Structure formats: structure tokens, C-alpha cells
Amino acid sequence: MKPEKLIEDLKSSAHQFVVTLRAFPQDRFNTRPAPDKWSAGEIAEHVAILEDVVLPIVTGPGKPSGQQDEDKKLVLMRTAILDLDTKYQAPSFVHPSADPKEAEALIARILAAREALGHAVRGVDLSEIATAAKHPVMGTLTRCEWVYTLIFHGERHRLQIEGLKGRV
């Protein structure tokens, strides 16, 4: 995967996420649809937290993967992550705080993280396995797969936020 394509996809997905956050009614940004469900603000903060977590994984140590068909794996990952009927339990370290959220502050945080990641992917071998961490669901991933997991994760939650509009 060429860094330019990855950077383009990072920017495009970030733009879509920002448009969704700005279109969400701000007076309901912190309203939960149910006591056990996250608000749009909490979902956005969760995305922002994960954005910060992925950069050191992508820029950290790596080892050759020997992987031949990355595109096929990315299609499978995208399908799994964007299946909104499948529920995942986020690890506690990426749970949002109890504090009220401000959309513009979270947007700035997400855009800054994406900008930093865009710069970082130019200086690493994207085909290498990122050895700093294993994904809790996907397991061992290359640096490229980590970045796409982040993109797909953001899209999953963008769709969830869209779905909240009529429920809160």
C-alpha cells in the first residue's frame, strides 16, 4: 500500500466524521439514547482516544510480515468492523470520560491525530507487522492494517452517530 493512498483515505474518512459531528444537534450531543448506551459525544470521544492510541503503535517497532494479500484481508476487516449488528466491547482504556463533551474540541483532537498519523506513515514500512500491540479483536496487524482499522472504526461510529439523530 502506498502512503499517499492511505493518507487520502485518512483525510476523506476524517472529513466525513467531522461533517457528521457538526450536523448532529449540539443540544443533544451529550444525551444518551438509553442509560447503557453512549451519547454522540461519548462515541466521538471514544474515537478520539483510539486515534491517540494508534499513532505509537504504527510508529513503534515492527517486523517483516511476509504477507502477500493485504487487500483481501482489508476487505474482510472492513466487512467485520462495519457490521453494526455485531457488538464489540471496547477495552476500558478507550472508554469515554463522564464529563460533558464539546464537538469542536473533539473534532480538533481527531484532526490533529489524523494529521500526525498522515505524516508518520510516510516514514515507516507499512507492510511490517506492528509489534507494539495486538488488536483486541483482529489480533496481529501490519502498520497499514492498523491505520485501516482506525479508518473503519471511525466509519462504524460515524454511522452509529448518524443513527442517534432521531433517537435522542
pTM: 0.94
- What is the mean pLDDT of each successive set of 10 residues along the chain, which is 168 residues long? 91 97 96 95 97 96 82 90 92 94 97 96 94 92 95 97 90
| Closest to 39 in 3D by CA, of 122, 113, 100 | 100
Contact 32, 39 (CB under 8 A): yes
**136: three-class secondary structure by DSSP:** coil
CA distance 153 to 81: 7
Distance set, CA 17 to CA 63, 73, 95, 123, 145 (Å): 32, 24, 19, 26, 20
Neighbouring CB atoms inside 10 A of 25's CB total 11
**Within the chain, how many helices (H) and strands (E) appear?**
5, 2
Q: What is the pLDDT of residue 167?
A: 85
Q: How far is CA 152 from the centre of its chain?
A: 6
CA distance 107 to 45: 9
Neighbouring CB atoms inside 10 A of 23's CB total 12
Q: What is the pLDDT of residue 48?
A: 97
Q: What is the pLDDT of residue 166?
A: 82
SS3 content of the chain, % helix, strand, coil (to 5): 60, 5, 35
